[in-house]
Amino acid sequence: MSATFAVIVGAVIAHWYDGRAKSMPNPGRAQRLGTLVASGLIVGESIWGVINAGLIVGFSKDAPIALVPETFAPAPWLGVIGFVGAIVWLYGWMLRRSAVVGSSVTHRT
């Protein structure tokens, strides 16, 4: 996949989320949560890239923490399913947290 495809998918999801956020009792909170989660995904991916590069150099292996062999055919699809599942869970969590009216919110997961 190209980077352009990821940008388009992200823009479509952001447009959908912004529409949902505007209908929340506290739209400002919903927008802030969306920004925080998106920023966290970007920074987390960057940090992981640096850690992975260090592991590759340190262990002199292309895949130092590979969980399955390269010949394991379902691996790409399992990765996509896991990523989509994480995104669906995160957006659901943000929408549930944004539905709470008021600025005083108890911490729960």
**Model confidence pLDDT, tens digit, residues 48-106:** 999 999 999 999 999 999 999 989 999 999 999 999 999 999 988 988 888 876 555 55
Section 11-25 average pLDDT = 89
CA distances from 69 to 51, 57, 72, 73, 80 (A): 21, 20, 6, 9, 17
| b/e sequence 81-95, b meaning 16+ C-beta within 10 Å | eeeeeeeeebbeebb
- Judged against a pLDDT cut of 90, whether residue 34 lies above it is answered with no
What integer pLDDT is reported at residue 55 of this predicted model?
A: 96
What integer pLDDT is reported at residue 101 of this predicted model?
A: 62
Amino acid at 73: A
Say how far residue 37 (Cα) sits from the centre of its chain: 7
CB 98 within 8 A of CB 24: yes
Question: How much is the pTM?
Answer: 0.71
What integer pLDDT is reported at residue 73 of this predicted model?
A: 95
DSSP state of 96: H
Distance separating alpha carbons of residues 96 and 75, to the nearest angstrom: 31
CB 94 within 8 A of CB 33: yes
3-class secondary-structure state, position 15: helix
